[in-house]
Amino acid sequence: MGKEIAIAVLGAGKMGQIHCESIAATPGLRLVGASSNSAERLAEIQKKLSVATYPSHEMLLRDAAAQWVVISTTTDKHKEWALKALAAGKELIVEKPIALSFSDARQILEEGRKRNLRVTVFQNRRWDNDFRLVRKIIRQGRLGETYRLESRYASFSPGWGAWGAQGAANPWRLKRQYGGGLLNDWGPHLLDQIFLLTRSRLKSLYCQAYSKIWSREVDDHFWIELVFADGQTARVEASNNARIPQPRWYLWGTKGTLQVKGGDLTDWNTAVIRKSSGGYSVETRITYDQRELSLGFYENFVDAVSNDKKLAVRPEQILRVMRTIDAARTSSVRGTSVSFK
């Protein structure tokens, strides 16, 4: 291993603290700073990780030690601080979604390109064990031709809206002004995974978004039906209104069916593959450990940067997700499908 990669975290709220701890735990990375407007939060990080802390994001960006900066503010501030960090000469890891719109995402990526600074997005669920298993089974052809994919995150928890540094005092995921809602929260993960499982061009989509229980400002349930040029279809769905869990994954293939258990993330630990052979139903169960957050993103990041490889989450992939989220919003508002050229 060569020289450690120096990273600072801008926005050390609840997720920002997880970034700090993940960086500190990953060989090849060195956490050099964190910023927040919460003195209490900074004191926690300082005590736990003995790292420089800053009461303002501007002060962090003036820290010459930081080569890379993680943007981990609320979603509505991603664009502002990403552009300021690029102007300060920092390379970026931005929490998902990278911004509130496709045009804002493109502006950030174009600014990075102009300055010859790398920009990537924290699509950490590419390294979830359930997704890695589903991808492996599809690649091995164990289901035959996989023609229908369903991917869901369905739960019922008061913790969703209050999952943040301020908790119930400011449940920002339930507020429009902060870029809340499940489409912004889980949409980037579910779409990113589906696009990695399919090779065909997205032909059209139809979306419905609901604001039924937790908020009237943002969606607490959405689903998107995706149609690909090769005829394959997929549905991605996220809801905090599911009192009875649905499967995390359900895949139809010509030779078999795959299901991964749903519910809380820690329950996504069993996959069932069912086929027919000689007139009998043959079932295979695969169990694995599913952690809340793996270190896979940062381990991959170290390998890519240290060995001059392409970063795993690339600009064209980031823009594809953001373009799709924009189209999903349009579809839900208009009540019509959206086609792609």
Domain chopping of the chain, boundaries:
5-122, 128-294+323-339
> Dmax over Cα atoms in the chain, in whole Å?
69
Quote the CA–CA distance of 100 and 77 in Å, as a whole number.
9
Secondary structure (3-state) at 139: helix
* Per-residue pLDDT tens over the stretch 159-190: 888 877 777 788 999 999 999 999 999 999 99
Domain at 128-294+323-339, CATH class: alpha beta
User: For residues 90 and 61, is the Cβ–Cβ distance under 8 A?
Assistant: yes
Quote the CA–CA distance of 198 and 195 in Å, as a whole number.
5
**For residues 114, 117, 121 and 122, what is the CA-based torsion angle, rounded to 10 degrees?**
-170
Domain 5-122: assigned CATH number: 3.40.50.720
Confidence of residue 143 (pLDDT cuts 50, 70, 90): very high
> What's the pLDDT score for residue 2?
65
Model pTM?
Answer: 0.96
Secondary structure (3-state) at 160: coil
Phi and psi at 153, nearest 5°, equal -120, 105
What is the C-alpha end-to-end distance of the chain, expressed in Å?
45
* Per-residue pLDDT tens over the stretch 209-267: 999 999 999 999 999 999 999 999 999 999 999 999 899 999 999 999 999 999 887 78
Look at the block and give the residue holding tokens 């102007």. Answer: 87
Residue 3, number of CB atoms within 10 A of its CB = 8
